Amino acid sequence: MEKPRFLTPEDLDQIRIDYGTPTFVYDENILRANARAVKEFPNAFGLYPRYAMKSAPTGAILRIFNNEGLGIDASSEFEVERAVRAGYGTEAISMSTQEFPDNFRFWSQDGVKVNLCSLNQIHKFGAWGKGGSVGLRFNPGMGSGGTNRTNVGGPASSFGIWKDDLQKAKSLCKEYNLKVERIHTHIGSGSDPEVWQKVAGMSLDLVRSFESVTTLNLGGGYKVARMEDEKATDLQEIGTPVKKLFEEFAKETGRELKLEIEPGTFLLAHACSLVTTVQDVTSTGVDGYRFLKLNAGMTEILRPSLYGAQHPILIIPEPGQEKFREPVEQVVVGHCCESGDLLTPAPNEPESLAPRLLTRGEIGDFCVIESVGAYCSSMSAKNYNSFPEAAEVIKKSDGSLAEIRKRQTFEQIVENEVNP
């Protein structure tokens, strides 16, 4: 029988007793090891990794990465404030956002860096009349991702200034006396080495148009292998050719560019497991399916329902029961009154059932869903069916468990409602 990545039977029992299920559990040792691996990304003239905090913004995680020397990639003014509250200095934070906030001028004055992501954002920032230094995020014209929903480059993506609008962007920056110090591109979550190298070259071409640029940010999107048949990104493999491009650029132009990257999934995915309970079992007959119903679902993990993402799933019976449980084909579903609340869809096909060969589950068993650190607790159908947000716990370096986010109460769910 398969074992959880980092949770012991004693951990599971303590989680059920002290925190209940469902509960997200992070592993501090894995988080720190991943942060140190990121800092070894090949670079020619300096590297600054920024944690893409949208993947999991809980304060305890931010504090670990701050301690490890990672900066912050924020996607909204609220993430900026959240990072500051967790102890980050404003100078370590960079924001690239789809919705540019009206009050960002104050954060900018305090040292938060900004990558302007559209012509309108350049106009909005420039109209404040302050001048100053900015970054520009461009859509280089191509992307990479497992599905269209994880591809953020190319003509079907709204992210960044379209490459053909380069001259318009330059004119606006000149009009508003904005000094462009950073160019930012991000193509998605595919991390194909050839695509990454090509986009890096295209990004350097953009840098050539701005003599004031000192930093090129190539985003993140480094794929991890959640399932056995998936291939993970090798940071050395994709980084080494990019380092060479930076060296060639320096030889050609005399400009030694600093590299920034923005990992999220790479840092978090394997560092977290969701501990749930099988709360019901149903069957649709010999020609149908055996369903395991969990006390969690799209309210904790939306990725399978959203784009057919795959996560390892382990059924863990009470000690001594394993020998009586043969593996059988089963479909794992969530607790929401929603046909799409499915934990075992076909790969990249969220509407197709794909039974898994799992230990025969029974009511009361633990069900541990692995590799849920990124884009799960932060990107779920929160409070759907009025289910509360799950608790979050960290397994510290010494092996002890500590709560880092309490389970939401019913009163917290309804506290902002008012009677007109």
Show the 3-state SS of 110-124: CCCEEEECCHHHHHH
| Cβ proximity of 261 and 38 under 8 Å | yes
- Burial letters 10-30, b for 16+ CB under 10 A, else e: ebbeebeeebebbbbbbbbeb
One-letter amino acid at 8 equals: T
pLDDT digits (tens, 9 = 90+) for 109-120: 999 999 999 999
Judged by DSSP in three states, 68 sits in coil
Q: Which residue has the higher pLDDT, 30 or 128?
A: 30
Nearest residue to 271 via CA among 412, 376, 120, 118: 376
Tokens coding 160: 């960044």
Residue 109 lies in a domain: yes
| Cβ proximity of 25 and 296 under 8 Å | no
DSSP strand pairing (290-294 vs 272-283): antiparallel
Nearest residue to 66 via CA among 43, 46, 42, 82: 82
| Cβ proximity of 316 and 294 under 8 Å | no
pLDDT at position 152 over 60: no
The winner for highest mean pLDDT among 90-94, 191-195, 216-220 is 90-94
- Residue ending a domain, among 268, 285, 307, is 268
Residues of the chain above pLDDT 70, percent: 95
The winner for highest mean pLDDT among 99-108, 235-244, 383-392 is 383-392
pLDDT digits (tens, 9 = 90+) for 79-118: 999 999 999 999 999 999 999 999 898 999 999 999 999 9
- Residue ending a domain, among 253, 268, 283, is 268
Q: In 39-161, where does DSSP find H-type helix?
A: 59-67, 77-85, 104-109, 119-126
Q: What is the pLDDT of residue 158?
A: 79
Residues 360 and 372 in one domain: yes
Residues 6+ apart with CB under 8 A from 66: 86, 87, 88, 92
pLDDT at position 150 over 50: no
Residues 262 and 326 in one domain: no
**47-56, 138-147, 278-287, 325-334: which range is least confident on average?**
138-147
pLDDT at position 147 over 50: no
Residue 420 lies in a domain: no
Q: What is the pLDDT of residue 145?
A: 47
pLDDT digits (tens, 9 = 90+) for 254-304: 999 999 999 999 999 999 999 999 999 999 999 999 999 999 999 999 999
Residues 247 and 324 in one domain: no
* CATH code assigned at 351: 2.40.37.10
Residues 67 and 151 in one domain: yes
Average pLDDT over residues 389-395: 98
DSSP code for 349:
E
DSSP strand pairing (272-283 vs 327-333): unpaired
Cβ atoms within 10 Å, residue 324: 9
pLDDT-based confidence at residue 191 (cuts at 50, 70, 90): low
Phi, psi values for residue 145, rounded to 5°: -175, 155
- Residue ending a domain, among 242, 268, 294, is 268
Tokens coding 344: 């075992």
Q: What is the pLDDT of residue 190?
A: 55
Residues 63 and 183 in one domain: yes
Judged by DSSP in three states, 238 sits in helix
d(CA 147, CA 309): 10
β-pair partners for 358: 328
pLDDT at position 322 over 50: yes
Residues 248 and 348 in one domain: no
Residues 75 and 105 in one domain: yes
pLDDT at position 188 over 60: no
Tokens coding 150: 């994880």
d(CA 406, CA 390): 8
pLDDT at position 8 over 70: yes
Tell me the residue range of the domain where 210 lies.
28-268
pLDDT at position 324 over 50: yes
Tokens coding 296: 């969690």
pLDDT at position 184 over 60: yes
Residues 68 and 190 in one domain: yes
| Cβ proximity of 15 and 21 under 8 Å | yes
pLDDT-based confidence at residue 196 (cuts at 50, 70, 90): confident
Q: Which residue has the higher pLDDT, 176 or 2?
A: 176
pLDDT at position 170 over 60: yes
Please give the mean pLDDT across all residues of the chain.
93
Number of domains composing the chain: 2
Number of H helices, E strands in the chain: 12, 20
Tokens coding 129: 């009349």
Q: What is the pLDDT of residue 148?
A: 43
Q: Please state whether 46 falls in left (phi above 0), alpha (psi between -120 and 50) or beta.
A: left
DSSP strand pairing (178-184 vs 215-217): parallel
Residues 49 and 193 in one domain: yes
Residue 56 sits at the vertex; the CA angle it makes with 53 and 60, to the nearest 5 degrees, is 95
Q: What is the pLDDT of residue 350?
A: 93
Residues 280 and 332 in one domain: yes
pLDDT-based confidence at residue 199 (cuts at 50, 70, 90): confident
Going from the C-alpha of 413 to that of each of 39, 133, 382, the distances in angstroms are 39, 41, 10
**68-72, 291-295, 378-382: which range is least confident on average?**
378-382
Q: What is the pLDDT of residue 159?
A: 83
Residues 158 and 191 in one domain: yes
Work out the angle between the directed axes of helices 59-67 and 28-38 (0-180°, nearest 10). Answer: 50
Average pLDDT over residues 144-154: 47
β-pair partners for 274: 24, 369
DSSP code for 355:
-
pLDDT-based confidence at residue 154 (cuts at 50, 70, 90): low
Q: What is the pLDDT of residue 257?
A: 98
- Cα 273 to the chain's mean position, in Å? 15
pTM of the model: 0.94
Q: What is the pLDDT of residue 130?
A: 78
Residues 326 and 251 in one domain: no
d(CA 388, CA 33): 32
Tokens coding 326: 């043969």
Q: What is the pLDDT of residue 131?
A: 84
